Amino acid sequence: MSEHPHAISNEWLALYYDGELDAKRREQVEAHLSTCTACQRELAALKALSGALAVDRLAADTLTSRSARFAWRELELRLPERAVAASPLLKWLPGMGLLMANVMVQFIAVVGVAVMLVGGRLAWIAQPVAWLNDISFDWLLGWLTWLLPAQWSGWGLSLCLVILTAWLAVLYLAWLGYLWLDHRRPVAHLALAFSESSAC
């Protein structure tokens, strides 16, 4: 298309023709078109090109009139069954549960042991803070004592918590690994992903 030294460029005309201009610019183009024969010719050329291309347009009834092959039944048979995807909440629930359990056990281990030790020492110095020691054993670590031999000390409890934390961490990493394996696509999916990404 020929270039023309106007306020309205070819690009604007194409945008106008394709319905991509906002109302204000559309009005500007229309105002210009009403007086400019060169732009009128350009617009007519765009329309003529669309008209020429239209001879190769597939009619709306092409498929229904001719294409018995393109039946949904046939296509449906080619569709592989697909496992119902779990909801995002269910998908993340195990991992989040493991993570939160890990955080909670770490919290109990660190805070519980700290309170136990500090509270125990302070109890000799100042009676008013002795209740920290009770809280430590009764609420934070005490619940574990019935699981363990009676002779185990507070250090034994903390060791137990550290091992539990490590196991939870291992389980969490295993879950992440499972998730990664689950996301690896079969060959067909990889080919499709490549096909999608190579669109230009």
Partner 1 sequence: MTEIVLPGEHDNEREWIARAQVGDKAAYGQLVERYQHLIVSVAYHHGLDLAEAEDAAQETFVKAWLALSRYRESAGSLRAWLCRIAINTARDVHRRERPAQELDEHMPDSDHNPADQAEAQAKRWAVRRALDQLPAASRAALVLREYEGLSYAEIASALDIPQGTVMSRLNYARNRLRELLREAGEVG
Residues that bind partner 1 (CB under 8 A): 1, 10-11, 14-15, 17-20, 45-46, 48-50, 52-53, 55-60, 62-63, 66-67, 69-70, 72, 74-76, 78-85, 188-189, 192-193, 195-200
Q: 66 or 121, CB closer to partner 1?
A: 66
Q: Tell me how far, at minimum, the Cβ of 146 lies from partner 1, in Å.
A: 46
Q: Tell me how far, at minimum, the Cβ of 188 lies from partner 1, in Å.
A: 6
Looking at residue 157, what DSSP letter applies?
A: H
DSSP H helices, the chain, are: 10-17, 23-33, 37-53, 62-66, 72-78, 88-107, 113-125, 131-135, 142-145, 154-183, 187-197
Q: Tell me how far, at minimum, the Cβ of 83 lies from partner 1, in Å.
A: 7
The amino acid that residue 85 corresponds to is: A
Q: 146 or 194, CB closer to partner 1?
A: 194
Q: Tell me how far, at minimum, the Cβ of 23 lies from partner 1, in Å.
A: 15
Q: 90 or 126, CB closer to partner 1?
A: 90
Q: Tell me how far, at minimum, the Cβ of 178 lies from partner 1, in Å.
A: 18
Q: 24 or 78, CB closer to partner 1?
A: 78
- Taken as a whole, the chain contains a residue count of 200
Q: 20 or 134, CB closer to partner 1?
A: 20
Instruction: Indicate the Cα dihedral angle 93, 107, 139, 112, nearest 10°.
Output: 160
Residue carrying structure tokens 């690896």 = 184
d(CA 162, CA 166): 6
d(CA 93, CA 71): 41
d(CA 30, CA 50): 20
Q: 88 or 149, CB closer to partner 1?
A: 88
47: Cβ–Cβ under 8 A, 6 or more apart, which residues?
17
Q: Tell me how far, at minimum, the Cβ of 55 lies from partner 1, in Å.
A: 4
